Amino acid sequence: MRTIGVVRSSSDEASAWAAALRDDSDGYAAVFDQNLDRVYRHALRLARNPHDAEDLTASAFLELWRRRKHVRVVDGSVLPWLLVTVTNLEHNHARGQRRYRSLLAALPRGEDSRAAADIAMEHMAADSAAESVRQALGKLGPSDAALIALTAFEHFAPGQAAAALGISPGAARTRLHRARARMASELGASAEQGPGAVSMEEMR
């Protein structure tokens, strides 16, 4: 029975990812365990239900393994790439077309990981607020939605988000300003229609 060390820092993840690039399944499993909860939380933010979020999460990790030689690593972490990939998959309607729950269960991972759904649901806002955010994000283009996800939700710096998307920091700041303004407008419209909406300030 294999034993996987728990990844506790970006340097640990960088080492595990280097092993994954050598086709080491234990290295990939460590990266999987480190990032699963946050990737699923973001997927649940975009999806209409937990089952779709599971499909998005599994698809993103499958793409991570398939395209591991070409993944953009930001400050030693593949998390920004995973979050961008989840956003793009959702915008491409990948969820619902392919059911990857069995694949997700088969991917290498540590034995002591908590269920992603349990952790994510502990931190999700009320359903009505989550739906407002999902609808607002859905009205943005994939890249702009990814910028919001990386900076407002996952607290990456604009420069890190730019690196994940392969654009210049200046372009990221300009697009982020426009995206935040549109998100604020969409969330404000939702608030006028009823309770449960969230503001851009609350998303920081």
Placement of tokens 């300030």 in the chain = 201
- CB-hemisphere CA count at 13 Å for 2? 12
Q: For 127-156, what is the mean pLDDT?
A: 82
Same domain, 96 and 157: no
**Mean pLDDT of the 152-165 span:** 92
pLDDT (tens digit, 9 = 90+) per residue, 142-151? Answer: 889 899 989 9
Position 177, amino acid: H
- Assess if residue 106 is contained within a domain: yes
40 and 85 share one domain: yes
Last-in-domain residue among 104, 124, 144: 124
Choosing from 98, 124, 150, the residue where a domain stops is: 124
pLDDT for 20 beyond 90: yes
Q: Are residues 29 and 119 in the same domain?
A: yes
Please report the pLDDT score of residue 92 as a whole number.
76
CA 83 to chain centroid: 3
| Residue where a domain stops, chosen among 109, 124, 139 | 124
pLDDT of residue 46: 86
Higher-confidence residue: 137 or 73? 73
| Domain CATH for 193 | 1.10.10.10
Range of the domain at 192: 125-204
How many C-alpha atoms does 42 have within 13 Å on its Cβ side?
31
Q: Residue 111: which pLDDT band, with cuts at 50, 70 and 90?
A: low
What is the distance between the alpha carbons of residues 134 and 107, in angstroms, rounded to a whole number?
A: 28
Question: Could you give the number of structural domains in the chain?
Answer: 2
In terms of domains, do 199 and 109 share one?
no
For residue 34, which of 69, 59, 9 has the smallest C-alpha distance? 9
Output phi, psi for 77, to 5 deg: -125, 145
pLDDT for the residue 119: 54
- 57 and 145, same domain (yes or no): no
The pTM score is 0.68
Residues 175 and 192 in one domain: yes
C-alpha pair distances (Å), 131 with each of 14, 72, 187, 191: 35, 30, 10, 12
